[in-house]
Amino acid sequence: MGLADNGAVIEMKTELRTDLTIEDICAGFEFDEAENKGLFGWDGKLTIQPEYQRNYIYADAKMEAAVVESIFSGYPIGLLYFNKIAEDKYEVLDGQQRITSLGRYILGKFAVKAFKPKYFHSLEDAEREKFLKTRLTIYICEGEPEEIKAWFRTINIAGLPLNAQEISNAIYSGSFVTAAKAEFSNSQNSNLQVWQDYIKGNVQRQEILQTALSWVAKSSERDDIDKYMSRHRCDKNIDELKNYFDGVIDWIEKTFSETRDEMRGLEWGRLYETYHENKYDTAALDAEVKKLYADEAVTDKRGIFEYVLGGCKDAKLLHIRFFEESTKKTVHARQTEAAKKIGKSNCPLCAIGSDRNSTKIYKYNEMDADHVTAWSKGGETDIKNCQMLCKTHNRAKGNF
Ligand SMILES: [Zn+2]
């Protein structure tokens, strides 16, 4: 029993099995050499690596051996989680790597070196028997996707926890996820290099897929991505997902001729939705980007792309460098001294007004610095272009 996202109490069937042994679970173990992943176990009843799982990542032989050594040393290898999908049909929710390590050991794929360098087949009979008869601790759950999701988030999974996309792949497994993974979670995909110019993340941890889904779902909220996955769960193809994704990538490539490090991980899905119908002169856009890259006042280069797409209006995106504290203090002192001499406010905008603030002398901390000539009109961030305004006037001016 647990709490769903909406707070409702959920009742999902979970069963703790402690009777199953390594021999049971590794019976009929099949391993895909080419893809380096475990496929089936438990006499075919168990899908070890459902399409949604992360790739087998114990490429590190040490990790793989550690699983086997734990068994020989009598240490627990942690809980395994299976999802019951039909009568006598299970999928590994968590523990796929551990099971694959055990299966590969039995198949003689590696030896355990740390103590007695032994392959499975060279074990003494008693050792082999002890290994095979070791009982595993397995939680089997059965329930609706929402329930499993809520439950999944609360269990403390041994080893590397699944991330949000991996969990969703598990929950919405089916033909759509299979096809989507083949495209977006495939480290052999030759397009990957281009994609990674714009997208951050680990392909094996499903992070490229997550981005692709967030684009077509037009939201990076987990719930919206999950709704999309749920709607398309039984689709035989991923045409919509792929076409949309390719459309975004094409658009970026056509719009910006140069790729730059700061482009990686931008919210391209949102930018595409907002700006792709505008017509751009790409040569002019490139020139503008170059100029902004060279401008030291632009402290956030990542903001440049949306800034130019939006017609160079929203300078907030660029986090324009601000005046130094010493500059502001100097200017404040200078303005205050001059203002006192003529009996006017030290805020130049208050001084030209007619209300009682026109003679008010503001303390340093009651004022903010302002670019006399806006940065966007070529004004520099140096003392010659700095004036102090009272906070009210500075806010009202509010431009760069
Ligand atoms: Zn003022």
Query: What's the CA-to-centroid distance between 388 and ligand 1, angstroms?
Result: 9
Query: What's the CA-to-centroid distance between 396 and ligand 1, angstroms?
Result: 10
Average pLDDT over residues 307-320: 91
Compute the mean pLDDT over every residue in the chain, rounded to the nearest whole number. 87
Query: What's the CA-to-centroid distance between 331 and ligand 1, angstroms?
Result: 15
Token pair, residue 131, equals 């290994």
How far is the C-alpha of 225 from the C-alpha of 172, rounded, in Å?
Answer: 11
Tell me the pLDDT band of 156, cut-offs 50, 70 and 90: very low
- Residue 253 has a pLDDT of 96
Query: What's the CA-to-centroid distance between 251 and ligand 1, angstroms?
Result: 46
Query: What's the CA-to-centroid distance between 367 and ligand 1, angstroms?
Result: 8
- Residue 134 has a pLDDT of 94
Query: What's the CA-to-centroid distance between 341 and ligand 1, angstroms?
Result: 18
346-373, pLDDT tens digit by residue?
Answer: 999 999 998 999 999 999 999 999 999 8
Sign of the CA dihedral running 207, 210, 211, 212:
positive
Query: What's the CA-to-centroid distance between 299 and ligand 1, angstroms?
Result: 28
89-94/46-47 β-pairing: parallel
How far is the C-alpha of 96 from the C-alpha of 38, rounded, in Å?
Answer: 8
Query: What's the CA-to-centroid distance between 356 and ligand 1, angstroms?
Result: 11
**CA distances, 365 to each of 80, 328, 329, 384, 386 (Å):** 60, 10, 10, 21, 16
Query: What's the CA-to-centroid distance between 316 and ligand 1, angstroms?
Result: 22
What percentage of the chain reaches a pLDDT higher than 90? 55
- Residue 15 has a pLDDT of 84
pLDDT of residue 61 exceeding 90: no
pLDDT of residue 53 exceeding 60: no
Query: What's the CA-to-centroid distance between 362 and ligand 1, angstroms?
Result: 9
Query: What's the CA-to-centroid distance between 53 and ligand 1, angstroms?
Result: 61
Query: What's the CA-to-centroid distance between 117 and ligand 1, angstroms?
Result: 81
Average pLDDT over residues 74-88: 87
Query: What's the CA-to-centroid distance between 298 and ligand 1, angstroms?
Result: 27
Query: What's the CA-to-centroid distance between 329 and ligand 1, angstroms?
Result: 17
Question: Which residue in 261, 148, 258 sits closest to 197, CA to CA?
Answer: 261
- Residue 155 has a pLDDT of 58
Query: What's the CA-to-centroid distance between 397 and ligand 1, angstroms?
Result: 10
Query: What's the CA-to-centroid distance between 72 and ligand 1, angstroms?
Result: 78
Tell me the pLDDT band of 50, cut-offs 50, 70 and 90: low
What percentage of the chain reaches a pLDDT higher than 70? 89
